[in-house]
Amino acid sequence: MNGNFKLFFTALFITVLLAFSCQPRFTSEITVSELKQHIQYLSSEKLEGRATGSTGDSLAAVYIRKVLKRYGLVPAEGDGFQRFKVVASAEAGDGNFLSVNGTVFKIGEDFIPVSFSSNKSLTAEVVFAGYGFNISNDSININDYETVDASGKWIMVFRGDPEMDNPSSIFIPYSSDRHKTLLAKDKGAAGVLLVSGEEYDREDILETLTGGETECGIPVIRIKRYVADTILKSHGTSITSLEKLLKNPIVSKSFNTGTQVKATAEVIQHKATTRNVAMLLPGIDENLKNEYLVIGAHFDHLGWGGKGSSSRKPDTIAVHHGADDNASGTAMMMELAGRFAGEKANKRSILFIAFTGEEKGLLGSKYFTDHLPVDKEKINAMINLDMTGRLRETKDIQIGGVGTAAGLKEKAESLVDTLFLKPVFTSEGSGPSDHAAFYAKNIPVVFITTGAHPDYHTPEDTWDKINYNGMLTVSNYVFNLAKLLSSEPEKLTFMESGPTESISRRPIRRGVTLGIMPDVTGSVKNGLKVELVTSGRPADLGGMKKGDIITSINGEPVSDIEEYMYRLTRLKKGEAITVVVLRDGRQLELLIQL
């Protein structure tokens, strides 16, 4: 062989070697080091808790797509990102104003609009209405509006209730700011002033506004106690003395103050673009590759926490790392993608989806199921991984949704090695995680979690507390289940299973239910969309259908989920109610027996 040929083959060998060295490198085996690497990054200080619409949320999405592309997956559509807008934050606008008999107070120091306030102005007399209750049941009968006329007035009420130290108080279902506001609005009030007594908040701190809340239709302003005392001065009383008087739960004290308040509430909501990550691993079977299995996990969390963030430590402003919730499920989802890609074990195609917005009400999964990149009828099932990183020594694992398809429970049971996992199976397809959005579309679901723990929704949910060997055990089970669901020739047949009422130690909180799964995302304006009607429950027996839009209950408007929940607290078991719904553009009145 002459020198030229030697040089040619040497160059060719180097070129081939370089080409192979540039290819994505991964092993099909899921390892502790890979899981730890993903979780450490996603829960790092750099990503600042991955709040929906934040920079950390965006960095997480970019990382997840990069990993899935490295494993050989392709975009399910476009560039693999599914973009949509959310209300990320809210702030008080420059138009906020408050004066009491001509004395002007300062925004941020003396008062602030609440997050669900409408942007409106009002000049009117203030009526004090105690705790703002109108409750009539077997336990108590109290009506703070009985002796006053709220029409066109400002209504000033205490926040909370007179039994703040009682975790089983009968007032709990009626004590939220929004509930009191909606009641005042029903009574004709044109605006609401909320004040915290010393029992509720000794420091009298004005809360930070939070994004994502729907407005209530009237101005609502949170005022300091000294501002309230200025309003009460003409009546010769104070917030402190009234709070002591109303400490007796059966006492009601309402009166016209004779004081005029002129105020404007302005809340500016800031929208942000966020994105799901949607990547596809094509199936290897010619007959089944046009059908799909979905494996999903949400990657968003609570950011820096604070009031209104769902943090269990709302007074602590710190990065809520979310290592278990849900960097763990996201890491498992990515590593399952790598294993399937390496072993080529899926006859059906698999959609690997990382959802954002779960912590704000399943926003990402709801958007995905409303904008599916594939035919819904071609989806065999959805597996949701949420908090899979804290397998306990007892080996307990919760496997939900097994009643959502014929034979699904038997399939899920058959793959469990009880030496390593102790499963608790539940049938219901609904629940507070992303699988609920798929179940609402009549898609069979499996929800897998190792359960909650004391670090849940706190800054202490960190990467070093993850049971990585336990994650390997759970991953192997999920892989075998996903392999079965992606390869069996017969497609699953959807079955309705739930929702069911959860068991509560304090049934007073639960009240009545219609037996529906409502749309919590606010996709419908001036109404509440019904995502699911449970067979045999009041709504079903009264003729309500999936897809109906509830617009009123007993003649009172229902404009969103908050107003719907408020209306339910006014109802009693055994009562017959009228519910107006929109169905296919027609208005129907249903009679429903609770």
pLDDT at 54: 93
Question: What are φ and ψ of residue 279, in 5° steps?
Answer: -125, 155
**Cβ-proximal residues to 33 (8 Å cutoff; 6+ apart), any chain:** none
pLDDT at 521: 61
Q: How far is it, in rounded angstroms, from Cα 335 to Cα 475?
A: 8
Q: How far is it, in rounded angstroms, from Cα 546 to Cα 431?
A: 17
DSSP label at residue 206: P
**Cβ-proximal residues to 87 (8 Å cutoff; 6+ apart), any chain:** 211, 212, 269, 270, 271, 272
Give strand pairing partners of 50: none
Q: Cα angle vertex 387, ends 381, 392, to 5°?
A: 115
**Cβ-proximal residues to 185 (8 Å cutoff; 6+ apart), any chain:** 192, 216, 217, 218
Q: 485 to each of 183, 202, 345, 408, how far by Cα in Å?
A: 49, 56, 11, 9
Contact (Cβ atoms closer than 8 angstroms) between residue 61 and residue 82: no
Task: Look over the chain and give the mean of its residue pLDDT values, rounded to a whole number.
Answer: 89
Q: When comparing pLDDT for 207 and 17, which is higher?
A: 207
Average pLDDT score over residue span 74-88? 93
**Cβ-proximal residues to 55 (8 Å cutoff; 6+ apart), any chain:** 48
| pLDDT tens digits, 444-463 | 999 999 988 888 899 999 99
Average pLDDT score over residue span 518-533? 80
| pLDDT tens digits, 355-367 | 999 998 889 999 9
**What are the chain's domains?**
28-88+272-487 (3.40.630.10), 94-265 (3.50.30.30), 510-593 (2.30.42.10)
| pLDDT tens digits, 220-256 | 999 999 999 999 998 999 999 999 999 887 778 999 9
Buried b (16+ CB within 10 A) or exposed e, 424-433: ebbebbbbeb
Q: Which DSSP string do the residues of 564-580 spell out, in sequence order?
A: HHHHHHT--TT-EEEEE
Among the residue ranges 330-334, 392-396, 550-554, the one predicted with the least confidence is 392-396
pLDDT at 312: 81
Q: Based on the number of CB atoms within 10 Å of its own CB, is 284 exposed (0-12), middle (13-18) or buried (19 or more)? A: middle
Question: What are φ and ψ of residue 19, in 5° steps?
Answer: -60, -45
Instruction: Print the SS3 string covering 16-58.
Output: HHHHHHCCCCCCCCCCHHHHHHHHHHHCCHHHCCCECCCHHHH
Percentage of the chain modeled with pLDDT above 90: 69
Contact (Cβ atoms closer than 8 angstroms) between residue 228 and residue 256: no
**Cβ-proximal residues to 355 (8 Å cutoff; 6+ apart), any chain:** 276, 296, 297, 298, 299, 300, 362, 364, 365, 368, 434
Q: 205 to each of 90, 111, 307, 309, how far by Cα in Å?
A: 18, 10, 11, 17
Per-residue pLDDT band for 136 (boundaries 50, 70, 90) equals confident
Can you give the pTM of this predicted structure?
Answer: 0.74
